[in-house]
């Protein structure tokens, strides 16, 4: 295993233990509202600080992009961190949230970890070395038919344009697929595509920390990921379509025509 991945796993597990302790006593958390349906708790902050301190100790020269702390430092090596992807779920005790950590080297994602602290599920990937769930090799599903495909998604909150466009996409994909799931953690949704639990996924208006680790997992598990233009600019545009190869082109054409 790559030493940088090992360090990221250590950081994710440390954050996971903070989250699991807090989950036992959610009512006592201090919660602030960042925007519509966008919450931050002291646990998001504590988990992010724990992640950064583990990584900084090992790699003092690296830089960071965290959901809570923003951009820290300048380096070709940037760790992209979401301490709790699915904070709204976490606050309601809905068991679908995860820690996401990725390493970008000169703009290319090379390491990814998504850790589900409730199930103790550890999804990991190193560029060129495959994707794994708890050390078991992951492959995307072998699904070929859109009408048999289970598709993951997420509702956009930030922009009205995205919402109207998304609802058109939703109507089309709902008609053409076996079903749509929307559990509320994009990082885990992407990990589920890599694990073959979904056959595809799309969402609009995501942030880099929602996607960075999950995208690498899917690519290393044999899946395809692009933005709505079929390009690799999803970290900039925030729009992402991901799927097993045979479903990918079908899903992309459905959402882009909607």
The catalytic residue positions are 67, 82, 84-85, 87, 210
Using alpha carbons, select from 77, 113, 119 the residue that is nearest to residue 95: 119
Residue whose token pair is 């880099």:
208
List all residues 6 or more positions away from 160 whose beta carbon is below 8 Å from its beta carbon: none
CB atoms within 10 A of CB 116: 22
d(CA 133, CA 110) in angstroms, rounded, equals: 17
Angle between helices 160-176 and 245-257 (to 10 degrees): 130
Q: Say if residues 68 and 80 touch (Cβ distance below 8 Å).
A: no
d(CA 10, CA 51) in angstroms, rounded, equals: 8
Q: Which helix (H) or strand (E) holds 16?
A: helix 3-23
Q: Using DSSP, state whether 30 is helix, strand or coil.
A: coil
Q: Which two tokens stand for residue 164?
A: 């109207």
d(CA 65, CA 131) in angstroms, rounded, equals: 23
């Amino acid at each position: 295993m790559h030493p940088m991945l090992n360090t990221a796993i250590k950081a994710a597990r440390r954050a996971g233990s903070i989250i699991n302790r807090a989950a036992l006593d959610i009512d006592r958390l201090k919660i602030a509202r960042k925007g519509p349906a966008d919450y931050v708790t002291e646990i998001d902050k504590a988990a992010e600080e724990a992640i950064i301190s583990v990584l900084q100790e090992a790699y003092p020269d690296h830089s960071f992009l965290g959901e809570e702390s923003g951009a820290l430092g300048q380096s070709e090596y940037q760790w992209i961190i979401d301490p709790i992807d699915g904070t709204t779920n976490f606050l309601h005790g809905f068991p679908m949230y995860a820690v996401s950590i990725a390493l970008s080297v000169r703009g290319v994602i090379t390491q990814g970890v998504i850790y589900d602290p409730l199930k103790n599920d550890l999804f990991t990937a190193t560029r060129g070395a495959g994707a794994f769930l708890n050390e078991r090799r992951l492959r995307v599903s072998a699904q070929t038919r859109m009408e048999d495909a289970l598709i993951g998604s997420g509702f956009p909150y930030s922009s009205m344009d995205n919402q109207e466009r998304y609802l058109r996409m939703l109507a089309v994909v709902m008609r053409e697929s076996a079903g749509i799931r929307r559990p509320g953690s994009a990082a885990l949704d992407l990990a589920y595509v890599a694990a073959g639990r979904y056959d595809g996924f799309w969402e609009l208006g995501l942030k880099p920390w929602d996607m960075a680790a999950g995208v690498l997992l899917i690519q290393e598990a044999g899946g395809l990921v692009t933005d709505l233009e079929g390009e690799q600019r999803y970290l900039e545009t925030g729009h992402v379509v991901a799927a097993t190869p045979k479903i990918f082109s079908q899903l992309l054409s459905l959402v882009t025509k909607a």
